Structure 1
Amino acid sequence: MPNCEPTAFRICVAPMMDWTDRHCRYFHRLLSSRARLYTEMVTSAALVRGNQFRLLEHSQQEHPLALQLGGSDPAELAQAARYGEQAGYDEINLNVGCPSDRVQSGRFGACLMREPALVGDCVKAMRDAVAVPVTVKCRIGVDDQDEYVDLQHFTERMLDAGVEVLAVHARKAWLQGLSPKENREIPPLDYQRVYRLKREFPQLVVVINGGITTVDQVREHLAQVDGVMLGRAAYHDPYLLARIESDLYGEALPSRDDVLRHMRPYVQAELGRGTALKHISRHLLGLYQGEPGARAFRRTISEGAHLPGAGWALIEQAMAPYPAVA
């Protein structure tokens, strides 16, 4: 049976397009040994018809690791889920929350919240195809579908399909008139609706997502739901992951320098494969967020990583002591 223990979902890093690639996930794993990491969304069509190795490539050090899929064809999603399981992913997650126009045109993402029966069919097909957990990430609502009863109905359909874990972005999605960026900020967050969902469906592992930026907020949410999913905060201030792990589990807090130096073998191996430094270093820019010298660290890497021959020496240069900067 799939492992859907609530403790396995206590801390998660959200799937984020153009951000949570394999280089980012390797870096995040060095900051947190327990956080559950998610890939960028991969469409089922791209996976079934495209280069599976390129789309599914990851390091063994990234686990526990989930593959997020986007799609609405049950048979196609089932095949994509099989590929994900065969590639070693610990979980297959279905995207029912992304509001972008491109996603809507493909009939997946947040627009699927209007079609809970279809989502249920997709989930059942995926669950029948794989042994690893199949989970769903959704919103609290979409457009004028803005009553708790709508989320309740959607959740009941998910449970009927066998879903045991639901990650809920506590903000409604507007599919017309707002950009994806605006959909991350408008309309306001409604954490209470997610808390209510957990109270009324105690058998469901509920993970809350949206606007979570501090250790204290993580603790407050974990008093109400099973897990917390961090998004942009974990990317722009990745050391937050280490602070959360230290606070929740009593782990010694690693220094930022030590974390970065543990990246060295990975960076050098990737450079040896022909990966350009800029593709890795862009994920490191927020490590010293809020610290003296943070701006100089970012500038050194940003200005040098794209140059021919850029390598680990640039990272060492960026780590050198800087005077405090505003």
Structure 2
Amino acid sequence: MRYIVIGAGAVGGTIGARLFQGGHDVLLIARGAHYDTLHRDGLRLITPESDETLDIPAADGPVPTRDGDVLILATKSQDTVAALSPWPTGLPVVCAQNGVANERMALRRFEHVYGMCVWLPAEHLRPGVVTANGDPYSGMLHVGRYPQGVDELAEQIATDLGKHGLVGRATPEVMRWKYGKLIGNLGNAVEALLGRVDGMGEVVTRARVEAMAVLDTAGIAYATSEEEAEVRGRRVGILPIEGAERGGGSSWQSLARGSGSIEADYLNGEIVLLGRLHGVPTPVNEVLRREADRAAREKLPPASMRLETLRALIDERCAT
């Protein structure tokens, strides 16, 4: 079985590297300078215990496929459709992404779709380099059929992930875990806009409380933060790495790279969408989505907004 990792950034690069270290056949798909560096030098994976350069095969687009290939999609949600469109629809697709919309998008074209709930603290800010801060394991990955269920392939993927540096778990309710992760990811926009500042937790809490009200009204099950903490235990702690100060999560990294886009439409925007469908106001998440999109579009750096400004925008929206 060959794992084709589409989007070899922080998450995809770490998953691909750990599968490769576990003895599996891996192909990394990347673009631009990142692909050039991977092709020329290999992938440099920096973790709390090691700094290795791995000679993992890489390509900058679709390649001829074969029986047994599995696509692991690790792009941002806004890139899902374009990233999948060139690939044969008979291949299984694993959506190793934040948010809950990717599996549905994939299922329009691909028959065999799997969700993956990703807890994996990592950064990708330089071509060819991925820093993974998780310890003693780089990440914990729940995988299951979409919309629900576990089959032989899901079990095999979980087993393969667990062979080196990751914890893999097959679960029949992967989307329940992903909705729980979605609630946690609502703070990504706050971190991207403000950086890590005193008082940001209050805004994050308001966004999450709003989201839980929406999900409860919609009748959508989600894992609680207590469940997540119990399952992870101490297996995926975050340790500092000398010479590689951790900046922030995926949305923070999108602004830091000046990518021009951010996944807020599929995180905070998912809550806004569900709120509108079910008649639940979502002013906090609406403002976070709007302002994160604006920051990405204008290519502003992380932490370009003051906490007082964001609070005022939210209060203004709540009052209308």
Q: Scaled by the length of structure 1, what TM-score is found?
A: 0.33
Richer in helix (by share): 1
Specify the structure having the higher radius of gyration (Cα). 1
Richer in strand (by share): 2
Q: Scaled by the length of structure 2, what TM-score is found?
A: 0.33
